[in-house]
Structure formats: C-alpha cells, structure tokens
Amino acid sequence: MADDETRIVLTHLRTSLNADPARFANNFFARLFSLDPSIRDLFPPSLAHLRNAFPRVVDHVLDGALAPTGHGALVELLAQLGRDHRKYGVLPQHYELAGRALEAEFAAVLGSSRTPAAAAAIGQIVATITGVMSGAAAKETGPPATPARVVQKFQISREHAVVRLVAERPLNYLPGQYVEVCIPQWSRSWRMLSPAIPASPTGEVEFHLRAVPGGTVSRSIVLETAVGDVWSIAQNHGMLRVDPNTPTTMIAGGTGLAPLRAILTGLAANVDNPPIHLYYGARHPGELYELATLQPMCAMSPWLSVTAVTEERDDPWWLGSIASPTDLGFPHMLGTLADAVVHDADRTPGYWDSRDVLIAGSPAMIETTERKLLINGASYRRIHHDPVG
C-alpha cells in the first residue's frame, strides 16, 4: 500500500497521463524502439490500436495500485495480458526493455514532482507489471495461436460477408466468447471477432463480418479474403452467457447476432432452457440475413422467440431479400432496436429486475441501447455485453 506522499504523486501521474494519453503512448513506444529497434517488427504497421489501448491499461494498473483492495483482479488482468502478448512473439528480454521504457516515461511525466519514495513505488509497479506478464506467458504451454484455413466465403451484401474456416486444432472458446484473429493481408494486426457457432471438435468456425467505414482489416476480409487463406486465431475472451434459471432478452444489431447465435445453438442441445426473446435488428429488412437460419431454430425451440426490427420498412433496390420477416413468420417492428425493445417490454413493475439482457452489435448500438434500457428501468447489473471498442 502506498503512503500518503506516494499516493499524491501517483495520482498526479495518472492525471498528467490522462491529460495527453496519445503523447504518453507515443513516447513510450519511441523509447522502447530506441532501446531495441528490432522490437518494432513485432508490432503491426499501424500502432493506432495500441496507442489507444496502452494508456488505458496503464491507467487501470495505476488505479488498481492506489486502491486498498482488488489487487487479485489486477494481477489476473496482467497475467491475461501476458498470455495474450505471446501471439506477438514477445520474449522474456522484451519485458525488461519495456519496463525500462515505461519507468523512464513515468519519470519524464512526473518531472520535478518525482520524490524518491514515489520513484521507488513506481519501480515496484513497473516490476509487478513486467513480472506478472512475463511469468504468466512463461507458464503457458499451449501454442499462442492456431492456424485456420478459409474453406467457404459468402458475400451477403456490399458490406457483409460470412467466412467459414477449419482450424488445425479444435478451438476451445465457449459459445458467446470472442477470439483474436489475424489475417494474411494485415500481418500482426489482431482484431476481435465473435464466432457464430459453438467450438467444434473438428475445428470448424464461422465469422460474420461487417466492413466498417474506413476499416482496414474488416474491409480486407469482406473484399479480399478467399478460400485457401490461412488466418491465425488466438486467445478467447468474454463472459456473454445465458443463466439457465433466468429469462433473457437478447438484442442483436447486424453481425452482433454472431455470439448470440452461438449461444442459442449451444442451448438448443439442452432439454430445458429459460424463455429467451431475441430482437434482431438492422437498417433494412434484407440485411437480416440470418432470419432463415433462426426460423427452424425457433420452430424446434419452444423457449425461443424472435422479433425482427428494422429502421426502414423496405429494402433499397440493391438489396433484394428473398422473403420479408413477416413471410418467414416473425413479428416485424419498425424503429431502432433500443426503441423497439423498450416499446415491446412488459410494463409490469419489476419486469427488468427478473431478466438478464444480452446486447451485441456495434459500439454505438450497444451504448444507445444500454442507455435507453437504463432510463426505462433496467438494472445495470442485469445488462451484459462485450467490451465496447
């Protein structure tokens, strides 16, 4: 535990770091690469993702170090980061250099306010970060990533594609979890994707992709990925799941259906499940391409019901769907997912207290939907989604 003087300095360090996180990240990486230029080769061509994520992790660690409790969770987070970094080819000696670069940048940020006691506390924090990460990485015996070959690709629309792969070894993610993926067109640029089917003993896996505007990897997958490409699939994360004893509302925007579909497919093997209502939404009816898959699932699963939600009633000329949601037997609501779910909900007091809500989709859709549900009485602890961003 830090003494009062050290706490003041560490709090000042956090404030200064958060005032200009991009500068902190740039300086850290510049220091690291100058200590050993060959380390640059381990990182993706664009450091944009790391520049964004790195200061947030450091801030979280400093916050945890200042907190009186919760150090176990912090150690577990660092251990997970260490295991995750194996996929970059990070070696034990790199941790020593990263520690030196981090300590030097902390010292530069603090300047004259760096007291000897604070310097010692910072040295200890940096040693903990590098020690826990490298220790956890060294303990892990399995391969850091699994190669998987593309065996099928379906272009659903200009922006959407479904990609099926077979991995060299079975993948061990749980339904609803996401994995880290790297494609040959963007080496070392890892992105999170949610498998749309539960892990199979023979390594089959399916991803649903949306090319985001200005996106690099997602655009390449939708436009360039071809049968025969070999992807790398690493570490699984995430806690999305259905509690077997709790009625659940699922809200899926576009390709956000993938993790929820994997959960539903996994549940379909059970004799008994809680009631689940899925709201599946997109801008146009023709973008709800998974309705045809959900139809037989609904027919065989009395615990599952589905409502289609679209912002527009009709498809544009370039997006002709074979059948409308109503043709397929689904109720069809117009509006945003957030509005549809709130409008449709039972008004009985306590309704939202008795059910879980799982949301999956774009960061904007998750944030809007969560906010609307909270305003309308849903309880924060009942709403679950993957990290946004």
Ligand X SMILES: Cc1cc2nc3c(=O)[nH]c(=O)nc-3n(C[C@H](O)[C@H](O)[C@H](O)COP(=O)(O)OP(=O)(O)OC[C@H]3O[C@@H](n4cnc5c(N)ncnc54)[C@H](O)[C@@H]3O)c2cc1C
Closer CB to ligand X, residue 205 or residue 217?
217
User: Stretches 14-22, 115-123, 211-219, 375-383: which one binds ligand X (CB under 6 A)?
Assistant: 211-219
Q: Which of residues 30-59 bind ligand X (CB under 6 A)?
A: none
Interface segment toward ligand X; rule CB under 6 A; list 87-95, 121-129, 215-223, 348-356:
215-223
Q: Is 214 in the site for ligand X (CB under 6 A)?
A: yes
Contact call for residue 212 and ligand X (CB under 6 A): yes
Interface residue with ligand X among 28, 106, 173, 178 (CB under 6 A) is: 178
Q: Which is nearer to ligand X, 223 or 323 (CB)?
A: 223
Q: Which is nearer to ligand X, 184 or 244 (CB)?
A: 184
Name the segment binding ligand X (CB under 6 A); options: 123-131, 163-171, 203-211, 261-269: 203-211
Give Cα separations from 198 to 100, 128, 194, 207, 385 (angstroms): 42, 36, 10, 11, 18
Is residue 387 close enough to count as binding ligand X by CB under 6 A?
A: yes
Number of other residues whose CB lies within 10 A of the CB of residue 342: 18
Look at residues 33, 20, 35, 53 and name the one whose alpha carbon lies nearest to residue 388. 53
Query: Which residue from 148, 167, 205, 217 is in contact with ligand X, where contact means CB under 6 A?
Result: 217
CA–CA distance, 365 with 338 (Å, rounded to integer): 8
Q: Which two tokens stand for residue 225?
A: 């990925």
Contact call for residue 298 and ligand X (CB under 6 A):
no
Among 362, 372, 377, 382, the residue binding ligand X under the rule CB under 6 A is 362
Cβ contact 149:202 at 8 Å: no
Residue 192 binds ligand X, judged by CB under 6 A: yes
User: Contact between 386 and ligand X (CB under 6 A)?
Assistant: yes
Residue 20 DSSP code: S
Query: Which residue minimizes CB distance to ligand X?
Result: 215
* Cβ at position 153, least distance to ligand X in Å: 14
CB-based burial label for 254 (10 Å; 0-12, 13-18, 19+): buried
What residue spans of 236-330 are helical by DSSP H?
257-267, 291-300
The first and second tokens of residue 189, run together, are 């640029």
265 is an interface residue for ligand X by CB under 6 A? no
* H or E stretch covering 101: helix 92-110
Q: Which two tokens stand for residue 361?
A: 């989709």
Which of these segments, 54-62, 192-200, 289-297, 332-340, binds ligand X (CB under 6 A)? 192-200
Least distance CB 360 / ligand X (angstroms): 8
- Locus of tokens 């300086």: 27
**Is 23 exposed, middle or buried, given 0-12, 13-18 or 19+ CB atoms closer than 10 A?**
middle
**Interacting stretch for ligand X, rule CB under 6 A, among 24-32, 189-197, 329-337, 369-377?**
189-197
The count of chain residues that interact with ligand X, using the rule CB under 6 A, is 22
Binding mask 329-358 for ligand X (x = CB under 6 A): ------------------------------
Contact status: 148 vs ligand X (CB under 6 A) = no
CB nearer to ligand X: pick between 156 and 306: 156
Least CB distance from residue 255 to ligand X, whole Å? 4
* Number of neighbouring beta carbons within 10 Å of residue 201: 7
In whole angstroms, the minimum distance from the beta carbon of 212 to ligand X comes to: 4
User: 170 or 387, CB closer to ligand X?
Assistant: 387
Token digits of residue 146: 């699994």
Strands 383-384 and 145-155: unpaired
**Contacts by 184-187, CB closer than 8 A, 24 or more apart:** 184/229, 184/230, 184/231, 185/217, 185/220, 185/224, 185/225, 186/44, 186/45, 186/216, 186/217, 186/220, 187/44
210 contributes a contact to ligand X by CB under 6 A: yes
Work out whether 218 is an interface residue with ligand X (CB under 6 A).
yes
Contact between 255 and ligand X per CB under 6 A: yes
Contacts of 306 (CB under 8 A, 6+ apart): 277, 278, 279, 280, 291, 294, 298, 330
Which spans of this chain sit near ligand X (rule: CB under 6 A)? Answer: 178, 191-194, 207-210, 212, 214-219, 255, 258, 362-363, 386-387
